Structures are given as C-alpha cells and as structure tokens.
Amino acid sequence: PTILAINMADRMTRKAISLDIPALEKALHTKIVLLSARNNEGFEALKTQIEQFKNLPMTPCLDTTVIAPEYFDRLAKTYPAQDLYKLWL
C-alpha cells in the first residue's frame, strides 16, 4: 500500500494551486494527504491513513513496464517467479 503525502500545502493555497485529490487518488490507486510541515498541519490525517493501511488498495499505482520496457523484460526473464513491481522497488 502507498500513501502519497504532499508537503507545502500552505504554499499551494497561497499560490492558488489546487489539486483534484479524489481524481488523483483514483488514478494512482492510493490515498493522498496534504501536509504543511512548517505549520504542523496534516499530520493527524497522515497518521490516520497509516493506521488504516489495511484498507488501502494493494494494486500497484504504476505500470513499471512502460518506464523502460527492455529493462523490465530482462528482469522478468531473470526472475520469472517475482513480481516486477516489487523488483522495481
């Protein structure tokens, strides 16, 4: 499971930057938490997501084979019984 923590959310607000969090969560198959380390904001939400990690999707949030097809083809041949996503990490 993955949780994407985006820091400097306070600066995003000041610069009128917005993110479509639900759309990003759906596209990335993960939960997203906005943080501001400077203002100590968002950490409770992050802790809550970490505590609830069992509810997070187990599907990879990235198709690794599109990054470098030749490399992942070699990995698949070298380690046929392994999950390519785990090998990439």
Q: Is residue 1 located within the same domain as residue 44? A: yes
The neighbour count for residue 30, using CB atoms within 10 Å, is 18
pLDDT at 67: 79
Range of the domain at 63: 59-89
Q: Position of tokens 């809550």? A: 48
pLDDT at 63: 72
Query: How far is 30 from 14, CA to CA, in rounded Å?
Result: 26
pLDDT at 50: 92
pLDDT at 19: 93
Q: Is residue 13 located within the same domain as residue 48? A: yes
- Give pTM, 2 decimals: 0.66
Q: Is residue 47 located within the same domain as residue 63? A: no
Q: Is residue 42 located within the same domain as residue 52? A: yes
Q: Is residue 49 located within the same domain as residue 9? A: yes
CA atoms within 13 A on the CB side of 32: 16
- Average pLDDT of adjacent 10-residue blocks, the chain of 89 residues: 90 91 90 94 95 81 76 88 78
Q: Is residue 38 located within the same domain as residue 15? A: yes
Structurally, how many domains does the chain consist of?
Answer: 2
* Contact status, residue 89 vs residue 62, Cβ threshold 8 Å: no
Q: Which helix (H) or strand (E) holds 32?
A: strand 31-34
Q: Is residue 51 located within the same domain as residue 85? A: no
